Homo-oligomer: A and B are copies of this chain.
Amino acid sequence: MSVTAAKGFTAAGVPAGLKSTGAPDVAVVVNTGPSRAAAAVYTSNRCKANPVLWSEEAIKGGSAVAVAINSGGANCYTGPEGFATTHQTAEVVAEALGAGAIDVQVCSTGLIGLLNDRDALLSGVRSAVAGLSADGGHAAATAIMTTDTVAKEAVAQGDGWTIGGMAKGAGMLAPALATMLVVITTDADIDSATADTALRAATAQSFDRLDSDGCQSTNDTVLLMASGASGVTPDAAAFTDALTTVCKDLAMQLLADAEGADHEIAIEVVNAATVDDALEVGRSVARSNLFKCAIFGKDPNWGRILASVGTTQAAFDPADLDVALNGVWVCRNSGPGESPDAIDLAERAVSVTIDLKSGSATGTIWTNDLTQAYVHENSAYSS
């Protein structure tokens, strides 16, 4: 159900011929109201794709009637022709719904630098709008997949209101948003300011802490649309909690489906002076190819962890760091601790704990290992 779990939304996913496989590649999600409050966060990459350039402007009014999404082409670095394709996508949806183009968000994903076949795309968008239904959530979630192996959906129930979401992404997952598109819908009756505050809080705790391969996309978008169809205005804290739950759920689904990965690794940094320190240290380890290779090889090589910690500016004493792998404190006071022999890295889930002994803040970054399959997938095919 995902984006159609909440009342006031319809969706569809159709094949438009953008993917050479003939798989579904165009999705549309529509907010049927009565409210059209919306908020979004976009990639912080300065080289943004055309749909992001469009949508960033369009969201400024705090409302959205619909979002149109295509896989099979990122429409990035495609110049004025590419921007015109995005604009016309919004126009086609708006016309069908009796709205303005400015009320339509657009997202694209796929290969960079490639002009989409505009006629095929617009034809697919028309077909999707014609097929909108209140149970079209799963079809939409399927149509936005690229190298994803499964559709990613999540739902949370509040007291009389619902939040549902869908996501795509399987690589190029790095902070300040992964290569991913996320659409979240709710029938809670909230204004756009409340939606914006809640969405920024939720993404900071979820997608922003995902760093699969250190590569930041040009197309990332997380969109929240609120229909108000439940007639209930939830407590802001309860809504933010539920939204964070949905975002974390989707983030963990992205992590688990990362291209070629054998392991999901949680890097928890404890007793940091600040949360920023904790996240800086966690990210430095998440971006160490040597550490990521070691985990792939099931090698509890904690030296590579400390070597990464040492590249940061966080507060700590280099002579007094502790590190645990799967709960075994293999490094104490920056020297050998418990024997790593008992550590079994066969399971997909791996935990790293780094104790900075410099405060009381904690932060976790999630990443994947670096595998031969990742290299294969990202060298054998353009994406």
Contacts and interface: CB of A to CB of B under 8 A. Distances in A.
Q: Which of A111, A289, A374 has the most chain B CB atoms inside 10 A of its CB?
A: A289
A204 interface: no
> How many copies make up the complex?
2
Contacts of A111: 303
Interface string A281-306: 00000011110011011010111101
Interface in A155-182: 171-172
Contact of A218 (B76, B307, B370): B307
A259 to B, nearest CB: 10
Given A48-B310, A311-B45, A379-B296, A113 B370 contact: no
Contacts of A213: 289-290
Nearest to A301: B382
Interface in A319-352: 321, 331, 333-336
Contacts of A301: 112, 382
Given A47-B309, A215-B288, A333-B79, A112 B375 contact: no
A112 B303 contact: yes
A290 B335 CA distance: 34
Interface string A341-383: 0000000000000000000000000000011101110111110
B307 A215 contact: yes
Contacts of A113: 302-303, 306, 331, 335-336
B375 A303 contact: no
Contacts of A13: none
B378 A293 contact: yes
A308 interface: yes
Contacts of A334: 47, 77, 79
A146 interface: no
Contacts of A100: none
A269 to B, nearest CB: 15
A71 to B, nearest CB: 16
Contacts of A48: 310, 318
Q: Which of A78, A290, A370 has the most chain B CB atoms inside 10 A of its CB?
A: A290
B293 A335 contact: no
Q: Which of A302, A335, A371 has the most chain B CB atoms inside 10 A of its CB?
A: A335
A15 interface: no
Contacts of A381: 297
Given A289-B378, A303-B77, A46 B310 contact: yes
A375 B47 contact: no
Contact of A375 (B76, B78, B114, B372): B372
A216 interface: yes
A217 interface: yes
A296 to B, nearest CB: 5
In order of increasing CB-CB distance, the 3 nearest A-B pairs are A112-B303, A297-B379, A47-B310
